[in-house]
């Protein structure tokens, strides 16, 4: 492959934002790695952990466009003068795609290693937890700074981008980029679909592109099935902020089942590194279980717990652990926490 001249400039002109969940400008991250001083190697990591429920775009891309993903990694390695690249695959994707990806890599003659994620967990998709996993360390987020761009894999400057980001980079390199991204939809009956649609498009327009007409018979979780925000059918004239995922729920879905499912997910997925998240997610689930069983809740303590999780957790997992619950109460049930607690007899 001919070295992509001015590729970082072209990425910046395309206004490409990382397709993970942090909305960070791709060109800025690439430039930071390029500018990083080191006497050792630089590395490129394609993160395909994809562990957010309701998000399956990377699986779709690997099935349809694996050559484009490898091309994007190759471009990054050349542009940043990285000695080696890695494709970090969750266990399911490793089983399904590693053999074919290896064939593509061998045909191109490039130094890319496929790394199998040891087990399927949520926090293991955070970029520094990915690096810890690759170094056979405890799978938990690192303190930042330093950032991976200056001190990443083996302490060397490292670019970590999502699978879809590398796909988009390949499009930019080939002058095929049209400011699109992939959207995941999980229907109320459980069926799943992926479509490539324009970036600047509202949730309502995406739903219509999938053939769904928004209705007050449903509510919608945007951004994933764990941390995603819940909206009612009249709140969909907004663009996506983060992961482009929609899950459609029937309006009459039992509240207790939903709330306890969300709470249990974060309690189970906490890596246990910080006390706030380790204990806070456990107490959050415990308090909610008691509330739905007895109707009793210490409201000031509950509010303090939420505040502490949101403001003192080490990483985003703890900070977003109540997001789905609170947005569901506010936007779908249209009540604040105090009203929810005051109408105990109406909780199913």
Q: Do the domain assignments include residue 296?
A: yes
Please identify, among 195, 217, 250, the residue that sits at the C-terminal boundary of a domain: 250
Q: Do the domain assignments include residue 85?
A: yes
Q: Do the domain assignments include residue 15?
A: yes
What pLDDT, on the 0 to 100 scale, is given for residue 346? Answer: 37
Same domain? For 114 and 136 the reply is yes
Task: Using the structure block, give the residue that is written with the tokens 């080939």.
Answer: 174
Same domain? For 246 and 295 the reply is no
Same domain? For 162 and 263 the reply is no
What pLDDT, on the 0 to 100 scale, is given for residue 338? Answer: 63
* Residue 311, C-beta contacts closer than 8 angstroms, at least 6 positions apart: 319
What pLDDT, on the 0 to 100 scale, is given for residue 323? Answer: 94
Q: Output the domain CATH number for residue 146.
A: 3.40.50.11540
What pLDDT, on the 0 to 100 scale, is given for residue 308? Answer: 94
Cα 168 to chain centroid, rounded = 17
What pLDDT, on the 0 to 100 scale, is given for residue 3? Answer: 67
| Total structural domains within the chain | 3
* Residue 336, C-beta contacts closer than 8 angstroms, at least 6 positions apart: 329, 330
Please identify, among 250, 271, 299, the residue that sits at the C-terminal boundary of a domain: 250
Tokens standing for residue 302: 């509950």
Tens of pLDDT, residue by residue, the chain (348 residues)? 666 679 999 999 999 999 987 789 999 999 999 999 999 999 999 999 998 999 999 999 999 999 999 999 999 999 999 999 999 999 999 999 999 999 999 999 999 999 998 877 888 789 999 999 999 999 899 999 999 999 999 999 999 999 999 999 999 999 999 999 999 999 999 999 999 999 999 999 999 999 999 999 999 999 999 999 999 999 999 999 888 999 999 999 999 999 999 999 999 988 888 999 999 999 999 999 999 999 888 889 999 999 999 999 988 888 999 999 999 999 999 877 666 655 433 333
What pLDDT, on the 0 to 100 scale, is given for residue 348? Answer: 32
Question: Is cis: bond before 93, omega within 30 of 0?
Answer: no
Tokens standing for residue 300: 């000031």
By C-alpha distance, which of 326, 288, 335, 330 is closest to 307?
Answer: 326
Handedness of CA 101, 103, 109, 114 (dihedral sign): positive
Same domain? For 243 and 283 the reply is no
Please provide residue 273's backbone torsions phi and psi, each rounded to the nearest 5 degrees. -65, -45
Same domain? For 246 and 259 the reply is no
pTM of structure: 0.92
Q: Do the domain assignments include residue 2?
A: no
What pLDDT, on the 0 to 100 scale, is given for residue 106? Answer: 96
Task: Using the structure block, give the residue that is written with the tokens 């007050």.
Answer: 216
Same domain? For 148 and 41 the reply is yes
Same domain? For 148 and 228 the reply is no
Same domain? For 167 and 29 the reply is yes
Same domain? For 13 and 159 the reply is yes
Same domain? For 37 and 64 the reply is yes
Q: HSE on the CB side for 287, CA within 13 Å?
A: 18
Q: Do the domain assignments include residue 140?
A: yes
Determine the structural domain holding residue 139 and report its residue range: 7-173
Please identify, among 153, 173, 193, the residue that sits at the C-terminal boundary of a domain: 173
What pLDDT, on the 0 to 100 scale, is given for residue 342? Answer: 52
* Residue 271, C-beta contacts closer than 8 angstroms, at least 6 positions apart: 121, 123, 129, 138, 139, 140, 141, 277, 317
Q: Do the domain assignments include residue 168?
A: yes
Same domain? For 93 and 126 the reply is yes
Q: Do the domain assignments include residue 42?
A: yes
Q: Output the domain CATH number for residue 238.
A: 3.10.20.90
Same domain? For 276 and 233 the reply is no
CA angle, residues 60, 13, 67, in degrees to nearest 5:
30
Q: Do the domain assignments include residue 1?
A: no
């Amino acid at each position: 492959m001919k070295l992509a001249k001015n590729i970082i400039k072209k990425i910046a002109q395309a206004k490409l934002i990382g397709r993970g969940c942090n909305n960070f400008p791709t060109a800025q991250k690439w430039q930071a790695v390029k500018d990083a001083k080191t006497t050792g190697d630089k590395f490129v990591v394609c993160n395909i952990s994809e562990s957010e429920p309701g998000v399956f775009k990377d699986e779709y891309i690997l099935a349809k466009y694996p050559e484009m993903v490898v091309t994007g990694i190759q471009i990054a390695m050349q542009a940043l003068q990285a000695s080696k690249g890695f494709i970090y695959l969750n266990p399911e994707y490793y089983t399904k795609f590693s053999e074919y990806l290896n064939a593509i890599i061998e045909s191109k003659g490039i130094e890319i290693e496929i790394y199998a994620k040891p087990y399927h967990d949520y926090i293991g998709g955070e970029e520094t937890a990915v690096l810890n996993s690759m170094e056979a360390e405890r799978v938990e987020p690192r303190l930042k700074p330093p950032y991976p761009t200056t001190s990443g894999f083996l302490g060397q400057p490292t670019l970590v981008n999502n699978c879809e980001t590398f796909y988009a980079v390949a499009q930019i390199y080939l002058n095929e980029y049209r400011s699109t991204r992939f959207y995941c939809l999980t229907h109320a009956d459980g069926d799943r679909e992926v479509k490539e649609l324009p970036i600047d498009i509202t949730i309502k327009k995406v739903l219509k592109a999938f053939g769904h007409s928004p209705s007050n018979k449903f509510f919608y979780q945007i951004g994933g099935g764990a941390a995603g925000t819940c909206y009612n059918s009249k709140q969909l004239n907004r663009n996506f902020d983060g992961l482009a995922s929609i899950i459609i729920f029937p309006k009459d879905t039992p509240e207790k089942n939903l709330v306890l499912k969300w709470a249990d997910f974060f309690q189970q997925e906490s890596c246990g590194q910080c006390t706030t998240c380790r204990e806070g997610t456990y107490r959050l689930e415990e308090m909610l279980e008691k509330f739905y069983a007895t109707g009793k809740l210490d409201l000031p303590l509950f509010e303090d717990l939420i505040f502490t999780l949101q403001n003192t957790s080490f990483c985003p997992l703890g900070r977003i652990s109540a997001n789905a619950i609170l947005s569901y109460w506010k936007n779908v049930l249209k009540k604040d926490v105090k009203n929810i607690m005051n109408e105990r007899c109406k909780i199913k």
